[in-house]
Amino acid sequence: MPSTDEQVTKDLIETLEDGREGFTKGADKLAETDRPEFAATFRELAAQRGRFTTELRDLAAKYGDKIDEDGSMLGALHRGWMTIKDAIAGDDPEGVLDAAEQGEDHAKQEYADALKSDISPHLRTVVERQAREIQTSHDTVKAMRNSVS
């Protein structure tokens, strides 16, 4: 049975990878709209998620945790929902930004759940810092969405 740290890390990595993929797809769509300046921000957020994933993987490896990234059922459901949202959002900047904000709401909740778990102090420090940056990213996406509403 995986440790709490291992499970929390796995769940966060899945969420981060979903976000990285979502921001990358969103950037591609936004680049072709009347709001291409938003694409650069989405690319930065995708890169941020990649850095967070690497940080968590490296930390897990340092402690000998094996992170199985086949994907949980919840992760698969969320990815499926993002695919549906992607189809609904189309190429409209507001739709893309709305889908991204919902994805950020999900990420914020995953981090909040992680911080409620009994995790090691070192992992908690990393998760707290990443959670603050996720909140900032959420606020950025929300401000972008509000600017086109």
Architecture of domain 4-148: Up-down Bundle (1.20)
List, as one string, the DSSP characters of the chain. ---HHHHHHHHHHHHHHHHHHHHHHHHHHHTTSS-THHHHHHHHHHHHHHHHHHHHHHHHHHTT-----S--HHHHHHHHHHHHHHHHHTT-HHHHHHHHHHHHHHHHHHHHHHHHS---HHHHHHHHHHHHHHHHHHHHHHHHHHHH-
Tell me the domain boundaries of the chain.
4-148
Least confident of 6-20, 48-62, 80-94: 80-94
Average pLDDT on 56-66 reads 86
Region 129-138: what's the mean pLDDT? Answer: 97
Average pLDDT for the chain: 85
Is the pLDDT at 36 greater than 50, yes or no?
Answer: yes
**Is 50 exceeded by the pLDDT of residue 6?**
yes
pLDDT band at 148 (very low <50, low <70, confident <90, very high): confident
Q: Global pTM? A: 0.86
Q: How confident is the model at residue 63 (pLDDT cuts 50, 70, 90)?
A: confident
Res 20: pLDDT: 92
Give the pLDDT confidence score for residue 81 in this predicted structure: 44
pLDDT confidence of residue 110: 93
- For the cut 70, the answer to whether the pLDDT of residue 82 exceeds it is no
Most confident of 25-29, 34-38, 45-49: 45-49
* Residue 74 reports pLDDT greater than 60: no
- In this predicted structure, what is the pLDDT of residue 90? 61
